[in-house]
Homo-oligomer: A and B are copies of this chain.
Amino acid sequence: MAVYTEVSDDELARFIAGYDLGKLLSFKGIAEGVENTNYLVHTTGGTFVLTLYEKRVDVADLPFFLGLMEHLCARGVTCPLPVRDRNGNVLNELAGRNAVLITFLKGVWPKRPKVEHCLELGKALARMHLAGEDFPLHRANALGLAGWRPLYDKFAERTEEICPGLGALIATELRFLEEKWPTDLPHGVIHADLFPDNVFFLDDKLSGIIDFYFACDDALAYDIAVCLNAWCFDAASAFEPAKGAALLKGYDSVRPLTDRERDAMPILARGAAMRFLLTRSYDWLNTPKDALVARKDPADYVRRLKFHQSVGSIADYAPQLIS
């Protein structure tokens, strides 16, 4: 939510001169992205987002992220396209950071997603999964099943500082997930963090998907489970059936879910709730109360997890889809 690395006008003008984008007209630090520094850059050649990668992003992962955006753009998915410089390079250096210029996407993310947004989202997610089928690079999901217990171990002794009973809830659920987690689902490239602030709309039409910095290989249906958690609960963390149904219907209309995927949806949704419960809990305990970044309440995901635990089958998310 803030500019971490400052760039001077002279430095930036020299950087831009390395691209075939004309002259620098303006740049503004934008209050987006918790992990990286982002500037909105206007040149005589157009509008771009300049991203400086801060230390939380592993340089070794950048070819995967940048290559994926190029791959998806080439297949008609509207996502930011990394711009190549005069030497054909995507990744450069600026102000001591790895830096890329990406194309600017029009659109506005929905603060309160509507049912129609969820329908569009489902279709776009399925299209993205199909477009990613032949992407040749691979990246493990560091925040998938294998990553949950090590992350939990980092703060297991402090769960009572967040809410009473949280430790027992997580411990029991982790054992369940480790025992029952499905391993035979269709795999591919997933976004893994497709929250509303990463999806732009214009006139209720989906206009772009951004922020691929959690993208990885995993079960495709797990990406849907993330969206169920991120898009289909109200402000009080109550499930909104019309939104869940729209999301799943939209997805299924483009890439029909297999029987195994339908069967697995409840446990995938529990896993996705666990992933965000764990990272939010860790951040809650490790972010100073007055830090730059607003802390997100882990309790939102306790409520989601409990809902998913109560679900019998995919029909509880989307009555039209019988498991």
Stretch from A1-9, A126-134, A138-146, A175-183 that touches the partner: A1-9
Contacts of A27 in B (CB 8 A): 108
- Give A25's nearest chain B residue, CB to CB: B106
Contacts of A201 in B (CB 8 A): 9
Stretch from A29-37, A73-81, A222-230 that touches the partner: A29-37
Report the bound CA distance from A112 to B13 in whole Å. 13
Report the bound CA distance from A112 to B291 in whole Å. 30
Within 8 A of B (CB), among A1-22: 1-3, 8-10, 12-13
**Which of A12, A30, A110 has the most chain B CB atoms closer than 10 A to its own CB?**
A30
A108 touches B29 (CB 8 A): no
Contacts of A262 in B (CB 8 A): none
- Give A110's nearest chain B residue, CB to CB: B9
- Give A37's nearest chain B residue, CB to CB: B31
B30 touches A106 (CB 8 A): no
Q: What is the minimal beta-carbon distance from A111 to any residue of chain B, in angstroms? A: 4
Q: What is the minimal beta-carbon distance from A54 to any residue of chain B, in angstroms? A: 14
Q: Which residues of A contact B (CB under 8 A)?
A: 1-3, 8-10, 12-13, 23-32, 40, 42, 104-112, 200-203, 288, 290-292
A-B contact pairs, 9 of them (CB 8 A): A2-B292, A12-B108, A23-B202, A25-B107, A28-B28, A28-B31, A28-B32, A42-B106, A288-B290
